[in-house]
Amino acid sequence: MLRDNFCGTVKVLADNKSTGVIKPNRIAIVPFRSTLTHRNPDPGKFYYRRRRIKLPSFCRRHTLSSSVNTFCDLPFNKIKVAASGEVTMCCFQSGTLGNLMKSSFSDIWESNAAKLIRRATEAGELHEMCTGWGGCPFLCKPRVNQPVTFEPAYPTQIELDLPNTHCNIGGTSPTPETACFMCPRSIPDFIADVDITLEIAKKLSFLMPTLTDLRIQGLSELFWKDRVFEVLETLGFEQYKHQCHFSAYSNAIVFNTPQQTRFIDACPDSRLFFSIDAVTHETYIKVRRLPAFDRVIANIKEFAKNKKDGQHFEIANNINMVNLHEAVPMVDLAADLGAEGVQFNPTHDGGTGRVDLHNVQVNESNYQEFARVQDLIIERGHQRQIPVILTRPLALHYPDMAKVGAIENNPQSRWKKLLNLIAK
């Protein structure tokens, strides 16, 4: 039997009801926030689940949980911390709410910018930080409001970036020849991040007791040199590993037996997204620069065999003209590996304006081919009974641009023109 108490959404176990007060670190059950994420912001799907948490003492001063009708829950529930300490609410936002190394957490979470973004989102609009570099999925997807509950005083989801120097493909000093061709690490004037990850993790560790989702990300490979375990230790994750869902993208090249054994113990509630981007050696080496396709497949098969209940994985594919012809077999490969889903995301320049990517990305002259392939992979997903997750439409906004004539009539300002049309 459960009883309402404390922050409105927190339910106290029946044996607490005589006191009517939750002591710090008592076990309680809280509703899980929407699993809507920036990687899969499907506005039609909101999930709720319950988790056992240990309440920290700082919770006692918090007021009631709030609820809101919104098409995107991230401004209410999440912070994304870049390797430099700059904070946003998701990786598609531009600008910053503040820097964790310079400002207090509450100054950032309750900043004017944060409030304005929440207000705009609640009104069904995209704040200018959300339209910034053009990556927000809601620029191309319908914005459908759903009820979301949240804690006004703190986020329940954290995404933490590792520095851009921490990737096994191209190493600490990547070049255009050694990094994946579409990765921002492959630009000739690559600027290395200063590695302050552990200092940032220390500053975030106080949020662990109420955290429901932790993602380690960035232009990086978390399993390289055991880095993920170092970060988890600094956060104090071990104590909360049964109540906090962990997720990450990995290229799976160094995800060998010792790494897997350690990970299976460290993150019992987890979802890994293995980024492969190819189904053949030839294409793999064009993208990843390394002859590691067989090793990746072997590592994923081993993990599929040994992982425990509560541990899930999907296959992720970044799609461009180099691998578009393999998109349909990518669905087959994911199904054959036993993945729970297969993701597709069109290659983008991350707002960098890289001209060298223009011809391999979806663009004004090839978007119809990307749209055609999207139909085929959806059909293949139905046939193989595996969910196909489109982070964004493969043809991006180009069909809409064609509709309003922005491609043909005004190529110079087409992006701004489209944003003005769809951001309202």
Q: Which residues bind ligand SF4 (CB under 6 A)?
A: 38, 41, 72, 74-75, 89-90, 92-93, 121, 126, 130, 136-138
Our CB check for ligand SF4 shows the closer of 117 and 179 to be: 117
Q: What is the CA angle 77-81-84, rounded to 5? A: 165
The minimum distance between CB 71 and ligand SF4, in angstroms, equals: 7
Show the tokens assigned to 344: 């597709």
The minimum distance between CB 130 and ligand SF4, in angstroms, equals: 3
Separation between Cα atoms, residue 227 and residue 192, nearest integer Å = 17
Q: Are 389 and 344 in contact (CB under 8 A)?
A: yes
Q: Which residues in 70-107 are b (16+ Cβ under 10 Å) and which e?
A: bbbbbbbbbbbbbbbbbbbbbbbbeebbbebeeeebee
The minimum distance between CB 87 and ligand SF4, in angstroms, equals: 12
Our CB check for ligand SF4 shows the closer of 130 and 158 to be: 130
Q: Are 165 and 195 in contact (CB under 8 A)?
A: yes
The minimum distance between CB 41 and ligand SF4, in angstroms, equals: 5
DSSP 8-state secondary structure symbol assigned to residue 191:
-
Our CB check for ligand SF4 shows the closer of 1 and 123 to be: 123
Q: Are 90 and 38 in contact (CB under 8 A)?
A: yes
Our CB check for ligand SF4 shows the closer of 137 and 155 to be: 137
Which of 44, 77, 47 has its CA nearest to residue 155? 77
The minimum distance between CB 70 and ligand SF4, in angstroms, equals: 9
Our CB check for ligand SF4 shows the closer of 108 and 279 to be: 108
3-class secondary-structure state, position 324: helix
The minimum distance between CB 389 and ligand SF4, in angstroms, equals: 15
Separation between Cα atoms, residue 261 and residue 335, nearest integer Å = 24
Our CB check for ligand SF4 shows the closer of 80 and 245 to be: 80
